[in-house]
Chains A and B, each alone.
Chain A
Amino acid sequence: MKLKKHNHIELIALAMLLLCFNSCVESFEYESKDFEKLIIINAVITDEVKQQEVHITNTTPIDEHYVSPETNATVIVKDDSQNQYTFTEIEPGKYMSQSSFGALEGNKYSLHVQTSNGRKYYSKQVSLISNKKPVSIIPKRIVNDDGIIGVDLLANSYDETNNSKYYKYEYEESYKIIAPLWVLQDLVPNPNTPSGVTYHLYAKETEQETCYSTVNSNAIIQTNTINLTEDRVEDFSVRFIPITDMMIAHRYSILVKQYVQSRDAYAYYEKIKESIEVPGNLFSQAQAGFVQGNMLSETNINENVIGFFEVSTVVSDRIFFNFEDVFENDTPPKYDCPKIAPLIFEGIGDYPLVSFLTSGFKFLSLNDENPGDDEGPFILVPPACGDCTVLGNAEVPNFWIE
């Protein structure tokens, strides 16, 4: 009897302990204290010959979410062969080189910025690393650690010269959207008719069945091969998409850019990334602090300057796949498209059908099979079910291949 009691208590205590270990992390309202406005200067000059970009912004208080651009700055990239590339502001905080150029191996580059109020910043000298090696992307169906089925987009690259070692990825993903309950006609109400509201069915004038959407990556994705016997990136997961994501329901394409970084640049972004990630475990919290990049202030050496000036080789790979190419035996995700048949008139000033139509609901069909008492004459579906432009753009992207 007694032993049983022990077990019971022990279970409760442990359960509580574990409960705590797993869920004693909670959000709290944080008030921004001591806001310091700092400048952020970021640029990646690639080996591609193009108009290169430099981004200059400022920090904002932590509880405010907007971009605070640094405008009207003078931006120059210099190399050690006495070349100077001047940048002009094309939109607030975004500066583009007046001429096209690409970073060359053997040259040392530095960035020089002077703000409109006279503060001067400069970068340490950086140079291009190694020769270019191609990257290939492979989609693969997996079940991840959390038991979720999805597609992993895996990067593979090999540098037999063993020079690259540090890699950063950016991607741009595009996908086809098909409105599942698309019909030819639109139902259009005319509230100005003298005898109340009249409804017309018109043929759709724009493409609403098939659309496309393109999204850019917004995370810092990096890997390295320093602990490996060869400089081989093998099946590195650049992106994971769960099977339930509508993105991959039909056809999907991803363009992955692989940048080769310097050790310092890699370390800088790694630290930035760590500073916003959930700590490895509850018991040890990484020491937070200011992450120093390679941008420095000429006017005030005590000023904290954020950002990194990189030169990098870049390679890319674009792939396309259909849902069934990756998921042979799985069912594709579907939109939830409930059908409704709102009444035309429900009381003085209350026209449910008009309300639904103006909020974007789409016509599906006539409600002609024994409509109930509270049903109207037309069947409607939620906007995305009948019109793909709600989610994307009807124009076929120029890179798109069916």
Chain B
Amino acid sequence: MKKYLLVIFLVLITIEVKSQSTQRVFSFDYSNKTLEQIFIDLEELTLHKFYFFNDWFNKDLKSGSFKDKTLEYILNSLLSDTTINFYITEDKRVILTKNSAIYNFLPDSFSINKEKPLEQIDSTIVAEKKEQLPVFFDDNRANKAASIRTIRIGKANAEQKREKYTLVGTVNSFKSQKPLSDVTVKVIGSSKGSVTDKDGVFSLELPLGESMIEIQSLGYEKIVGKVFIYSDGEASFDLREDSQLLDEVIVEAGVDKNVKETVTGLTKIDVSEIKTIPLVLGERDILKVATTMPGISKAGEGSTGYNVRGGKEDQNLILLDDAVIYNPTHFFGLFSALNPFTIGEVNIYKGNIPAEYGGRLSSVFDLKTKKPNKTKFSGEASIGPVTSNVSLEIPIIKEKSSLLIGGRGAYSNWVLKALDDKKISKSSASFYDFIAKYDHEINENNNLSVTGYLSNDDFSISSDSLFSYKNKLVSLKWKSIINDKNTGSLQLKSSSYLFDILYDGEAVNDFKLGYDLNETELKLKVNYLIDDDLELDYGLTGKLYNINPGNIEPFGSKSIISNIKLPKERALETAAFISGKYDVNEDLAFNAGIRYVNYSFLGEISQRTYVDGAPKSTGTINETLFYDKNEVVKSYGGPEARVSARYFIAPSVSIKASYNNMYQFIHTLSNNTTASPIDTWKLSDLNIKPQKSQQYSFGVFANFNDNLYEVSLEGYYKKMNNVLDYKVGADLLLNETLETEVLQGKGKAYGLEFFLKKSKGKLNGWLSYTYSKSLLKLDSPFPEEVVNKGEYFPANFDKPHDLSLISNYKFTKRFSGSMNFVYQTGRPVTYPVGSYYQGGQEIVVYSDRNKFRIPDYYRLDLSFNVEGNHKIEKLAHSFWNISVYNVLGRNNPYSVFFVNEDGEIKAKQSSIFSIPIPTITYNLKF
């Protein structure tokens, strides 16, 4: 008789298999085959699919035969002398698992009943053996694949006095044999439990005798163990990685981000979510979706820019992979110039703008392209009535580098030409855009990516003029993990915007007019994670602007237009920034930053000073000053604060507040009521001061029903200074003394934004409503510089009520219907207040600017979406979208104007889409 004071028994329990397939019997012979080969044969014979790793098996050759045996039997016998276990699923798969911790023997001495006298134990061994080996365990609490182990510690004896003993256990990963931390160990049927430390060790007090414990960790199979404890002891457990048989795991990261984030006024667009939204002419448009969010709007369908929280179109910093896009639209703003297949992430900051960004008063549109797939070639394509679009993700070096390319082109031009209508064939429009991104994982800590982008538009309205504009950008980003705490990135980016106007009427005044702008920026940013509660971002940035404000040259041999080239404008904008995120406690968090910006307008250039006490005009020039190359003409700048705070007033309700101030040194010049692609950008110089703003915002954010609904209410108040406006009828192109046409005034904007979103379920979508005002004030001691008697008046894009409802209903997995409804107050217009005759011609007199409004805008769009079937083996995944834009056929006026027809004044209104526009688009994903 041997005495074991402490023995650990690890008994593998085979798994219950009830599936019917195992009832079928098979007969087969094998000779001189490795296990691997045998399994391959078995796959064919039994029509089961086997899952295993080749290197689990040795190359020993086996021979043998089975007759009328179940698969289970066959496997049992084949694997009897290995450490491999198997599991047969109902859908005819055989999963083999390797388990090194199998003990097929029983100890010489053990007891299941402490009451039993020691002498009797031997006689019970056989009985127990039968009972225990193998143990079929049928327990609903346990996973199908859960392993049950029986552990015996110590032995029972009559003198046992203690009621409790301590089990010290170690939990390792089965695969790597490394200790697992944070694994929960629970005593079933009691509230006791423990968690492993970083060495994978836990300790648990158990009552004398039998207990059930459950060891569980996310991503690992659960172990249920039966412990018989009769003394303090140790045990070790190996957790296996979860097999594929689990249900699909839906990880809902960031569902409560809107409540938790410290930043106010942040709009995120889920690019994958927008594909069901009804389209106009088949173009999926990320920025159009943005305008359905609170606080973001457009002056009208044909306007080029966006208005964010009462800001002008030029006050948005639109970044594509961190490089600025000056005009993100095609075709007068009807379509966005961003290829929707290549964009991965859209964040729009309209309240508290992070300190790393600057230079525009109203917002930052941070658009990031997708990270191209490094393992699998894939792509997406669409065919619509206006454009075709293709994007491809191409792995270059597997797991290391890949390329994303996207191209889109409109084929409207040839159709336009083909149409047999003189009026139409005279006008033309075509556009394309192209994007490429290369992403390279240099090593674990370093990543390099390069993005290139080009967009081009050509259009003409009469037969003798041709307009074209282009965006070009290149962005280079090197990201490096310096150490555990510090991550740095270095960016070099360059953007250009240019346009040309060609006038070819076969006359002496034929010309070609050009404008181009380039900015190049170098930016260094470091993220320093001090601890879980405190994080710092800091860096430096420098940006150089180069602008050719306009040149005109003769076109054709007949032309006597003289060559005029306005002098190049240059400026340097540098900034240093630091911002910190600090979680004071679970409820209160701050995000505070400061950015110090300096702007210098540089020579070589001449600038004019004007007589004091007189309006700026060519007649009041005091002197003209000349500056040498790189000489600083004028510097502007100062500190910019970016502060925000969040406080949880209830578990899923937070309040946030923020303040920030901004500078802007580059402005668009437009004497139209809406922005257009041939608006020029002008740098602040000796006479044109930078625009400034201050914004205060406050918001309440809440999620309810398990984050199913997201709701927020935000308010803001914004003050602006030196906002640019122009004298009526100002000549802005090729004007060297632009300051004589420019007015700079004050602006203020305030609003309340409501947002409700349901992101899941059969019916999903969002409702946004904004009440806002945006006002301007242009006052001066000189009557010709005063607009509306120096009082505040509504800006051209002021639309107090703005409501959008975006909804989608899934009928089945494949069919869904979507509806958009948009309502907006009509934008302000200037109406005439009288007329008179000038030399026999009737002339209208306009008075106060923007005193009236065009009729309210509303529109309903519907779409129906059909997904291709979801078979995994299918080569490509298709998607049909049938949309009807403006279902109600509402003739929404875009502008109202007055013209002289046959000597008499007539009121006219124009609209862009006055009838329902149906479109079908076909998308393909492969």
Chain A interface residues toward B at CB < 8 A? 6, 9-11, 13-18, 20-22, 24-30, 32-38, 40, 42, 57-62, 65, 67-68, 145-147, 170, 216-220, 227-230, 232, 234-235, 263, 267, 270-272, 274-292, 296, 301-302, 304, 306
Asked if B833 and A285 sit within 8 Å, CB to CB, the answer is no
Q: Is B333 an interface residue (CB 8 A)?
A: yes
Which of B415, B461, B674, B917 is close to A10, meaning CB atoms less than 8 Å apart?
Answer: B415
Asked if A285 and B674 sit within 8 Å, CB to CB, the answer is yes
User: Beyond the given A217-B839, A229-B561, could you list 4 further A-B residue pairs with CB under 8 A, ordered by the A residue number?
Assistant: A30-B898, A219-B839, A232-B560, A278-B897
Distance in Å: Cβ of B905 to nearest Cβ of chain A: 6
Chain A residues with CB below 8 A from B726, complex form? 287
Asked if A286 and B673 sit within 8 Å, CB to CB, the answer is yes
Could you list 13 A-B pairs, sorted by A, with CB under 8 Å?
A10-B385, A20-B912, A28-B908, A32-B833, A36-B833, A60-B835, A145-B464, A219-B841, A227-B564, A228-B561, A284-B302, A287-B849, A288-B832
Closest chain B residue to A229, Cβ basis: B562
Assuming the contacts A220-B838, A283-B332, A292-B783, asked whether A34 and B909 have C-beta atoms less than 8 A apart, the reply is no
Which of A11, A20, A40, A283 is close to B303, meaning CB atoms less than 8 Å apart?
Answer: A283
Asked if A37 and B834 sit within 8 Å, CB to CB, the answer is yes
> CA A147 – CA B422 in complex, angstroms?
10
Q: Is B728 an interface residue (CB 8 A)?
A: yes
Assuming the contacts A13-B917, A228-B560, asked whether A287 and B839 have C-beta atoms less than 8 A apart, the reply is no
Q: Is B79 an interface residue (CB 8 A)?
A: no
Assuming the contacts A24-B910, A227-B734, A286-B729, asked whether A17 and B672 have C-beta atoms less than 8 A apart, the reply is no
Kindly supply a per-residue 1/0 record for chain B positions 886-926, scoring 1 wherever the CB is within 8 Å of any chain A CB and 0 otherwise: 00000100110111100111111111111101111010000
Distance in Å: Cβ of A267 to nearest Cβ of chain B: 7
Distance in Å: Cβ of A14 to nearest Cβ of chain B: 5
Which of A17, A26, A289 is close to B908, meaning CB atoms less than 8 Å apart?
Answer: A26
Asked if B833 and A271 sit within 8 Å, CB to CB, the answer is no
Which of B424, B670, B844, B912 is close to A276, meaning CB atoms less than 8 Å apart?
Answer: B844
Which of A28, A33, A228, A274 is close to B852, meaning CB atoms less than 8 Å apart?
Answer: A33
> CA A89 – CA B639 in complex, angstroms?
65
Distance in Å: Cβ of B515 to nearest Cβ of chain A: 15
> CA A218 – CA B842 in complex, angstroms?
9
Chain A residues with CB below 8 A from B560, complex form? 228-230, 232, 234
Chain A residues with CB below 8 A from B415, complex form? 10-11, 14
Assuming the contacts A35-B833, A38-B834, A219-B841, asked whether A227 and B561 have C-beta atoms less than 8 A apart, the reply is yes
Kindly supply a per-residue 1/0 record for chain B positions 763-791, scoring 1 wherever the CB is within 8 Å of any chain A CB and 0 otherwise: 00000000000000000000110010100
> CA A136 – CA B618 in complex, angstroms?
32
Asked if B913 and A170 sit within 8 Å, CB to CB, the answer is no
Asked if B920 and A6 sit within 8 Å, CB to CB, the answer is yes
Which of B505, B839, B913 is close to A218, meaning CB atoms less than 8 Å apart?
Answer: B839
Distance in Å: Cβ of B509 to nearest Cβ of chain A: 8
Chain B interface residues toward A at CB < 8 A? 281-282, 302-303, 332-333, 383-386, 412, 415-416, 419, 421-424, 427, 461-464, 505, 507-509, 511, 552, 560-562, 564, 618, 670-676, 726, 728-729, 731, 734, 783-784, 787, 789, 796, 829-847, 849, 851-852, 891, 894-895, 897-900, 903-915, 917-920, 922
Closest chain B residue to A58, Cβ basis: B836
Which of B562, B731, B845, B907 is close to A30, meaning CB atoms less than 8 Å apart?
Answer: B907
Assuming the contacts A14-B385, A18-B424, asked whether A67 and B844 have C-beta atoms less than 8 A apart, the reply is no
Chain A residues with CB below 8 A from B421, complex form? 18
Which of A58, A59, A283 is close to B333, meaning CB atoms less than 8 Å apart?
Answer: A283
Asked if A290 and B837 sit within 8 Å, CB to CB, the answer is no
Closest chain A residue to B507, Cβ basis: A235
Distance in Å: Cβ of A8 to nearest Cβ of chain B: 10
> CA A291 – CA B846 in complex, angstroms?
8
Distance in Å: Cβ of B31 to nearest Cβ of chain A: 56
Chain A residues with CB below 8 A from B505, complex form? 145
Asked if A286 and B911 sit within 8 Å, CB to CB, the answer is no
Asked if B728 and A24 sit within 8 Å, CB to CB, the answer is no
> CA A22 – CA B894 in complex, angstroms?
14
Chain B residues with CB below 8 A from A6, complex form? 383, 385, 920, 922
Asked if B836 and A275 sit within 8 Å, CB to CB, the answer is no
Asked if A26 and B909 sit within 8 Å, CB to CB, the answer is yes
Chain A residues with CB below 8 A from B912, complex form? 20-21, 24, 282-283
Asked if B422 and A288 sit within 8 Å, CB to CB, the answer is no
Asked if B845 and A59 sit within 8 Å, CB to CB, the answer is yes
> CA A57 – CA B783 in complex, angstroms?
22
Chain A residues with CB below 8 A from B384, complex form? 10
Assuming the contacts A145-B463, A218-B903, asked whether A65 and B833 have C-beta atoms less than 8 A apart, the reply is no
Assuming the contacts A25-B910, A279-B897, A292-B783, asked whether A35 and B834 have C-beta atoms less than 8 A apart, the reply is yes
> CA A232 – CA B560 in complex, angstroms?
9
Chain B residues with CB below 8 A from A40, complex form? 836, 838
Closest chain A residue to B561, Cβ basis: A227
Chain A residues with CB below 8 A from B833, complex form? 32-36, 38, 59, 62
Asked if B841 and A218 sit within 8 Å, CB to CB, the answer is yes
Asked if A218 and B840 sit within 8 Å, CB to CB, the answer is yes
Chain A residues with CB below 8 A from B562, complex form? 227-229
The 9 closest A-B pairs by CB, nearest first: A271-B729, A59-B834, A218-B840, A30-B907, A229-B562, A289-B728, A10-B385, A283-B302, A284-B672
Asked if A283 and B676 sit within 8 Å, CB to CB, the answer is yes
Which of A33, A263, A267, A285 is close to B673, meaning CB atoms less than 8 Å apart?
Answer: A285
Closest chain A residue to B833, Cβ basis: A36
Asked if B919 and A270 sit within 8 Å, CB to CB, the answer is no
Closest chain B residue to A275, Cβ basis: B844
Closest chain A residue to B882, Cβ basis: A9
Closest chain B residue to A276, Cβ basis: B900
Assuming the contacts A227-B734, A289-B849, asked whether A234 and B843 have C-beta atoms less than 8 A apart, the reply is no
Chain B residues with CB below 8 A from A145, complex form? 462-464, 505
Asked if A59 and B731 sit within 8 Å, CB to CB, the answer is no
Asked if B385 and A276 sit within 8 Å, CB to CB, the answer is no
Asked if B895 and A13 sit within 8 Å, CB to CB, the answer is no
Closest chain B residue to A34, Cβ basis: B833
> CA A280 – CA B829 in complex, angstroms?
18
Asked if A280 and B838 sit within 8 Å, CB to CB, the answer is no
Asked if A285 and B905 sit within 8 Å, CB to CB, the answer is no
Assuming the contacts A35-B834, A287-B671, A290-B847, asked whether A9 and B919 have C-beta atoms less than 8 A apart, the reply is yes
